[in-house]
């Protein structure tokens, strides 16, 4: 109802998940080829160019779903309980995304050896923090409205 700062937090969570779609997460070298992990799959750069070696449609779908869920939650400010439930679902989705990324990165690098973390590695954690801050803001608004109702 009041919907102040939690809209910004939800937008930032959605933006970080969107950036996760295009930024590399983990990079490694295997011989003379460079491999990097993105949400869509594993890409390799050789002398011939860049090609996608492995595809992860499930991880891509989870990331898009989390991004859209955070965007939709912004516009549900009149129904705070539904908005809070959607944020909880988004937090669970982000946790699943983090676990999938860790598993795929472990497979790619065979045990996290000779790995360079890129900016994409921090984005799911940022999205998780932004969703938690939005949840806290909604809960604060509920408490403010309850205290105003007591005064009436």
H or E element that contains 44: strand 41-46
Whichever domain contains 75, its CATH number is 1.20.140.150
Task: Please tell me the pTM assigned to this model.
Answer: 0.87
pLDDT tens for each residue of 109-136: 776 567 788 899 999 999 999 999 999 9
- pLDDT tens for the chain, 152 residues: list them: 445 788 999 999 999 999 999 999 988 877 777 888 999 999 888 777 888 888 999 999 999 999 999 999 999 888 888 999 999 999 999 999 999 999 988 888 776 567 788 899 999 999 999 999 999 998 888 888 777 766 66
Cα(79)–Cα(70) distance, integer angstroms: 15
Domains: count for the chain:
1
Q: Which domain holds residue 17?
A: 5-151
């Amino acid at each position: 109802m009041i919907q102040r700062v939690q809209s910004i937090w939800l937008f930032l969570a959605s933006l970080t998940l969107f950036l996760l779609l295009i930024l590399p997460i983990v990079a490694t070298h295997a011989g003379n080829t460079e491999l990097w992990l993105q949400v869509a799959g594993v890409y390799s750069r050789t002398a011939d160019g860049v090609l996608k070696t492995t595809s992860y449609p499930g991880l891509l779908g989870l990331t898009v779903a989390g991004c859209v869920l955070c965007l939709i939650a912004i516009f549900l400010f009149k129904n705070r309980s539904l908005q809070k439930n959607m944020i909880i679902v988004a937090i669970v989705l982000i946790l699943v995304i983090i676990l999938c990324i860790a598993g795929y990165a472990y497979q790619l690098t065979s045990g996290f050896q000779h790995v360079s973390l890129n900016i994409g590695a921090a984005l799911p954690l940022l999205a998780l923090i932004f969703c938690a801050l939005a949840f806290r803001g909604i809960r604060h608004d509920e408490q403010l409205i309850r205290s105003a109702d007591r005064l009436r």
